[in-house]
Structure 1
């Protein structure tokens, strides 16, 4: 059986015209109609960006922790000063209660005795006053050799802030508080007032916090230097880690850089199952698709060059020898027109085969097989004056592409017409084989032509392979290749069953599993 010229029933999907845009209109890539976010140009390498982000986040964290820690420690300094004032006030209250029996003749004597028993610690000053006049001072900030067990002489110049500060605090309405000045620095104070007979006594307690706060600041300066060293170390570690993480990305870059126009076989090694491995896998899949597209394009160019060379040579030769005789000119024009038609069919068939390697070549839909079979039989009768016989019809429905199936079966019937004569019988039919998920749909065409040799049975489904029927070579050799591509697109196969000299049966088998939707449709049809 020879390969007949393929039927021009396949509509080649042309890409939709793209809207024109002016040069100053930015292009917007899109996927599924959704605009893609435009990435801003970056100048720093990814390794530097990762390292800088890690260093920046580490610095922000350390600064935040440092400021919070400093605030906490400074608050503890203030809290400790308050506790010291409260403790000093409590001690004086107990002392005053113990002295209430009248052991002291005056408030001044009692305050002097009390301060004599106190040992003010550094940054603490306790001042005793009677009727607004200072009577004794216990100054922990003065020289330790002058303190001893006796209150110091009344010298307010030894008190930070001097007489003005003491007078202001003794006369203040509040009994405690906090203040800060250039003379005293920050301090906390508290005052305990009492009456001893006709005398108004007071104990003023001052807690200077400048030194403690300075110690906190010094400690955090040290911590800051240590943290800075830690940041430098972490930046080095981040640099090394970023290099390890980006190593597969650099490998992707190397492979992409080394890929040549005619060598798309290089692939990125995939190690592990993490995100980087997923990127490498996706990149390899993209290379697979590019290689397939490149192979398809190259095959199309090679096939077109191979098949179009002969008709172009014929046309050129005939035109060069074009005679002035009207009859010869008409014959030449008919020959040229025929060759141009053949070139058009070849290009159309090559485009179909190129489309066959695209994912959307087969567009599956729910189809009633019996109606499809009757439709194919009706179209086949227009192909030639033969005795067409529909031998069997599959009853049921399947998920397939009715246009592609029709194209494949009509190609087989066109081939059958080519190898038979007027009045010869050509049979066709369809049936389901198998049950459930294993069910398959078989569509076939049987002719009474010369048949196909066993050695040609597999070869004739390849591109530009032609069977030899009675020594006559016809067709472009692409029709059966298209049939096979359609069957492959459905997950099926194309086949031939023939004995040389006794005709041939060509057909396709495609999966037609019984799904819930197919079963429901079949039940409704039966009822």
Structure 2
């Protein structure tokens, strides 16, 4: 089944599963609680009835002992049984009966039921054991009634007596069963009410998830404006909706940057291709000088394309975990090595200021790449014989060890309006007297600084040069011992 109905049923399935699981646990808990409770009640009832029967027999024996003390040895069995029955007070569900010479003779007034029916009497006499007290079940009115049958024997009277105490337990069981039925009805009503309330509550709770489902179904790369409504609560569902919206914002921003990036790349690659094509179309194959000039122009443009592709490849790696490979780097040696590479970039007065003797965790190759890029920019936008200085220092900012790598030049400088975007991809400034670059160099420098957990900054004034500074934290730096040099 496909279409809106199947999607709606699919959306409701989570809600139904949650409700079903909740109700199943509730029903199981109520069932277990009821079973244990009423099993205990029935067990307690059995024990209590047996205890009450035993208590009645004990009371009868105490009455007999008191009568013998008061009356003496002239006490007859008949008098004893009569006196005992008169003082006995049956409970709500109890009945007593006294026998003389195997015949029922005495019973209390107003007891719960009768034990004098011929069928019951026959059962009592059959179960009776002379000289003993036994516990058995009697059938009274079709019900099994627990009973205690005690034999009464006096030295002063040879007439045998029997005292019977019975408890109609079924009526008490019926009361418990009535309570169990009431419990069952109340439990079912509770489950029904819980299901209705749960249906409403889960509907409200699951609404953001439904909105999230609809959004994920409708959002495309051509329309990233859709957002999930905020439920306005403080729970996991609201957090999910908020996180999803933030994720969409990041995706939208990244997609916009990607489109802009691809547009810039297309433009940057189209220019050298157009130049190469135009040069080849206008070159006179019969003119050696024209051919040589065209050949030189084509090679220059291909070199520029190759440099652009290399820079793009580097930027593409910036998001990968292996973009930087940390190891222990002696910053003093790093400064000397980097300086030996950049001092050949152009006829400038090159200066090195390395006042740091520390070992830091860094990627030496990437840092060298950043320094070369900054130095190449300094050469491009400065005049011959002006100063370019490389500075590497160790400092402490807010209690944290930091490494600073800077390149200062005396070039044309950068206007304040351009400084805000200088580190963006394909960003360029006015290039008075300088050569055109890919516009990716400073973006690579920024990526290298951020990969080290730091940042890159610019201080510049038009006509007074520029200073680019990379700062990154190094909590595990340590001062080099002279023996380590």
The TM-score bracket by the shorter chain reads: 0.7 to 0.9
Whether 2:440 is the aligned partner of 1:478: answer yes
> Aligned pair in 2 of structure 1 residues 180, 232: CA closer, same or farther (>3 Å)?
farther
Contact 1:460-1:467 at 8 Å conserved across structures: yes
Aligned with 1:405 (options 358, 367, 379): 367
Displacement, 1:212? Answer: 1.3
TM-score, with length taken from structure 2: 0.78
448 and 92 in structure 1: CA distance in 2 versus 1, 3 angstrom threshold: closer
- Change in 2 beyond 3 A, CA 1:465/1:122: closer
- C-alpha distance in 1, partners of 2:410/2:96? 128
* 3-state SS, counterpart of residue 45 of structure 1: helix
Could you tell me which of 454, 457, 463 is aligned with 1:491? Answer: 454
CA distance in 1 between partners of 2:440 and 2:313 (Å): 11
Match of 1:49 in 2: 17
Question: What does residue range 127-206 of structure 1 map to in structure 2 within 5 Å?
Answer: 127-129=97-99, 133-136=102-105, 138=107, 155-157=117-119, 159=120, 163=122, 165-171=123-129, 175-177=133-135, 179=137, 185-197=143-155, 198-206=158-166
Return the offset for 1:354: 4.7
Q: Cα–Cα, structure 1 residues 461 and 97, in superposed 2: closer, same or farther, change >3 Å?
A: closer
1:301 is matched with: 262
**1:115, distance to aligned residue in structure 2 (A):** 4.0
Cα deviation, 1:401-446, whole Å, max 9, x if unaligned, reads 433322121012223444679x846633214386453776543445
SS in 2 for 1:50: helix
Query: Which of 416, 429, 434 pairs up with 2:390?
Result: 429
Residue pair 1:388, 1:427 contacting (<8 A) in 2 also: yes
Q: CA deviation at 1:470?
A: 4.8
- Which whole-Å CA distance do the structure 2 matches of 1:172 and 1:405 have between them? 111
Change (3 A) 1:172 1:475: farther
Match of 2:42 in 1: 74
Q: How does 1:256-335 map to 2 (within 5 A)?
A: 256-268=216-228, 269=230, 271=232, 273-317=234-278, 335=297
Q: Which has the higher contact order (CA 8 A, sep 6+)?
A: 1
Give the Cα separation in 2 of the matches to 1:218 and 1:352: 82
Q: Which moved more, 1:297-306 or 1:434-443?
A: 434-443
What CA distance in whole angstroms lies between the structure 2 residues aligned with 1:402 and 1:496? 25
Structure 1 pair 137–471 and aligned structure 2 pair: CA distance change class (3 A):
same
Task: Please say if residues 118 and 138 of structure 1, whose CA atoms lie closer than 8 Å, have aligned partners that are also in contact.
Answer: no
Deviation at 1:170, TM superposition (A): 0.8
Listed one character per residue, the Cα deviations across residues 473-512 of structure 1 (whole Å, up to 9, x for unaligned) are 5222222333344445543333254654x7x444224145
Residue from 321, 338, 341 that aligns with 1:379? 341
- Distance in 2 (alpha carbons) for counterparts of 1:303 and 1:174: 112
Q: Which runs of 5+ in 1 are unaligned?
A: 1-41
Q: 1:78 and 1:524, CA in 2 relative to 1: closer, same or farther beyond 3 A?
A: same
Deviations 1:53-77 (A, max 9, x none): 3322222222222222222332343
- Alpha carbons 2:95, 2:111 under 8 Å: kept: no
1:395 maps to what in 2? 356
Contact 1:104 1:110 in 2 (8 A): no
- How far off is 1:229 after superposition? 1.3
* RMSD (Å) for aligned C-alpha atoms: 4.2
Q: Is the 8 A contact 1:460 1:466 kept in 2?
A: yes
| C-alpha spacing 1:77/1:448, structure 2 compared with 1 (3 Å) | closer
Query: Structure 2 CA distance, aligned partners of 1:247 and 1:282?
Result: 16
What secondary structure does 2:479 align onto? helix
Superposed counterparts of 1:338-357, under 5 Å: 338-356=300-318
TM-score normalized with structure 1 length? 0.72
CA shift, 1:374, in A, is 0.9
Q: Would the alpha carbon gap of residues 350 and 85 (structure 1) be closer, same or farther in structure 2, given more than 3 Å must change?
A: same
CA contact (8 A) 2:456 2:469 kept: yes
Residue 302 of structure 1, CA deviation: 1.5
- SS of the residue aligned with 2:56? helix
Q: CA deviation at 1:321?
A: 7.0
- Specify whether residues 341 and 180 from structure 1 end up closer, same or farther in structure 2 by C-alpha distance, changes over 3 A only: farther
